[in-house]
Amino acid sequence: MNLNHSVPATARPLKIQILISGTGSNAINIAHQFKNGQLSGLGEISQVISNRPKAQGLNTAQELGLATLCVDHQDYEDKAAFETALIHAIDSKPCDLIVLAGFMRVLSPEFVSHYAGRIINIHPSLLPAYKGLNTHQRVLDAGETHHGVSVHLVIPDLDAGPLIGQAILNIKSDDTAETLRQRIQAMEYWLYPHCLQLILSGDIQLMTDRVIFKAPHIQTTATGVEPWPEDVILNQTMSTD
């Protein structure tokens, strides 16, 4: 099913699959939001998949009663074989939307095309700046004054898909890569569920290569969306605790 042409009401609750590689704290946070938070009633997690058997997030997801599966990339002779197995695993359960949350494999254009308009990712930078790895240290090394995190539609080009949501912070003089990681992650725990809520409620429509903002309250810019400032996010998080 493609979210392009709006999902029929009878298809609700929409089925989400989350792909992880490690801690999986975003996946677990999203699971809690589905259970009794801002995402409740909007969808269900049908499966959490890791490409690493020892991923901590797999155990935590299992403890929460979620269906989990490991498709270990090391068990396959090449990327194509791994992705064939991954597609098989995903397609074995209902899936309206694939949520990448710390999934550390670069997906091929063939894989992305197979699920065109149905994969989203969270990346710790203000895309289109700082694609790729080690963003916190690279931002510090470059002497940037701002840093942030982006949720975007996945397209075949790496970290290049249209933006769905962004959050921004001011870099402090004593920030390190580790403090930035922590501050960014605190914003992620609000931003990713927020973006999911907009998608699942129909306020944002995902096309194969673009995102349509249907709700007037979403502030867009020429390049994407207006980033949410850190203090606004922290205030919202505290008021819902």
> Which residues make up the interface to ligand GRF (CB under 6 A)?
20, 22-26, 57, 101-102, 122-124, 149, 185, 188
**In whole angstroms, how close is the CB of 148 to ligand GRF at the nearest point?**
11
Residue 48, helix vs strand vs coil: strand
**In whole angstroms, how close is the CB of 10 to ligand GRF at the nearest point?**
32
Active site residues: 123
| Cα separation, 181 vs 172, whole angstroms | 13
**In whole angstroms, how close is the CB of 51 to ligand GRF at the nearest point?**
12
Comparing CB distances to ligand GRF, the nearer of 102 and 162 is 102
Q: Which residue is nearest to ligand GRF (CB)?
A: 102
Comparing CB distances to ligand GRF, the nearer of 167 and 199 is 167
Nearest to 151 by CA among 234, 54, 30: 30
**What is the 8-class DSSP label of residue 185?**
H
**In whole angstroms, how close is the CB of 111 to ligand GRF at the nearest point?**
17
- Phi/psi region, residue 167 (left: phi>0; alpha: psi -120 to 50; beta: rest), is beta
Q: Hey, what amino acid is at 209?
A: D
Residues 131 and 155 sit within 8 Å (Cβ to Cβ): no
Comparing CB distances to ligand GRF, the nearer of 102 and 193 is 102
Comparing CB distances to ligand GRF, the nearer of 82 and 189 is 189
Tokens of 69: 């599966």
